[in-house]
Chains A and B, each alone.
Chain A
Amino acid sequence: MLATAVLIAMVLVILALVLNIWRVVIGPDTTDRILALDTLYINSIALLVLLGIHMTSAAYFEAALLIAMIGFIGTTALCKYLLRGDIIE
């Protein structure tokens, strides 16, 4: 029961990842691509959490937390660059 649910959830999240990558490719603006990358890292955290349940291992949460932090910093830095032309003033 639970194993099937994890597999179905994985398929849904992978479909979401494919849609995000499609948006990264077609753009059309820089902000669209940044937004798609932002969603991409959130969905990859979801996939990592599902993998943790699938393999019954708690070791994936540190990776999920790291991806969450680095992804946020990346989005912020890219937006700052678009807004000001510089990241650290």
Chain B
Amino acid sequence: MAQKKTGNRSVNSKMSDIRYKVLVGLEIHVHLSTQTKMFCGCELEYGAEGNSRVCPVCLGMPGSLPVMNKQAVEHAILAGLALNCEIAEFTKWDRKSYYYPDLPKNYQISQYDLPLCINGSIEIPLEDGGTKKIRIIRAHLEEDAGKNLHTAGNFSQIDLNRAGASLLEIVTEPDMNTAAEVRSLAVELQRMVRYLGVSHADMQKGHMRFEPNINLIVTKDGTEYKTPIVEVKNLNSFRALERSVDFEIHRQLDEFLETGQVLEMGNKSTRGWDDANQVTFLQREKEEAHDYRYFPDPDLVPVKVTKEWLESIKARLCELPLKRQKRYVSEYGLDDYDAGVLTAEHSTAEYFEDVVAKGAYFKRACNIITQDLLKLANERGSSVADLGIPAIHTAELCKMVEEGIVSATAAAKITTIMSESPDKSPQAIAEEHNLIQKSDAGELEQIVDQVLAENPTAVKDVTSGGKKSKKARGFLLGQVIQKTRGQANPKVASEILTKKLC
């Protein structure tokens, strides 16, 4: 039916000319990486015993009162700055009322009409290497609810360990037009908040939750129709996000073609994602306008973001991941994919720059890091920076490879040993393990002579220049390398071979 590309799509229908455009806005909840909750000093600990990280405040006991976590506010401001938002000079807290067992006070402390951050944007990378700007409507702070655990029996269990955790809610304009773009935004946001150090954004631990709002603008026989908006609730993986958006697009088109229903006031509906069956399903028909009865929280005083405070937070802004990635492409001539790999984690990018600063040629450093070090890191479930290999050693290794002292293959072996013995220099390791390439022309020449003498047929094949010439030449070079137990510098050996064979 539809091709997976951006922009307008068309559909072949018997009677009408149908084109459609997809509009997706995303609401993202990000768990901030503070030690304690938003309004109390309970520690946030993933996997703790049920209800063991709860106090009178987050339990909503009578008489308890909230007190703001300064770090959470600063994290939120930092994220807002990174998202190019205007940071409100004056912001306040509001109560959002609804009844649910995981919400102990039966209201959530959030921000309604004066959010901390507004009118920002974020650049997302597109598959074709370009970027696209997605507008951010707002970002505000709120407290999280606890967890309902559904059991086999006719009851539910409630765990309030997470109740009160600090959340940053980010809302975008419906600027995304494909499921891939939605995913790209989610991934880029994850990268960004990790870079800034405001969230660990560990999907496994539910640190990011997504709620896409999707609808279509269908042009049928020249007239435009908008399908009703659907919100898909509580997605917590990139996969579920992309697939649910994709599914919705097709479902909405089908539904529109069948029923002709269009967007009206109040006909927004809510759907959930059934991962087992890979479908969205209806949760709430007409958005029974949840009357949240927002009003200013009388237990909390407002926040005034002074110029000095804002400046001190601005100073913590680092180069953002996408910008860094593009810089590696333009400055170092790395290809976009490799640049993306290097900048996937802040610490890896820092390590790369450190290695380059210590004299390594950037392309070589990129190769060694993205291939050898990253492979090791993945095997060990660690990051490149946490392998413990001092940057100076990696830089030295890069130089050794550049100068032909060791082969690229040998470099892989050396990195493994370096990670186990961080105090040993690559030079020392190479010597210890006989990995130094033989590049001495004189020595190699003798070996080449030997090989040529032992393989007259092959020599003939090469010099005769026929079909077998290339293969024979490769065979001869291989023999040289073998005779040196892999230590011959292939470049030098090849040069000598060429000289001798001409």
Q: Are A and B subunits of one complex? A: no
**A interface residues (Cβ-Cβ under 8 A, vs B):** none
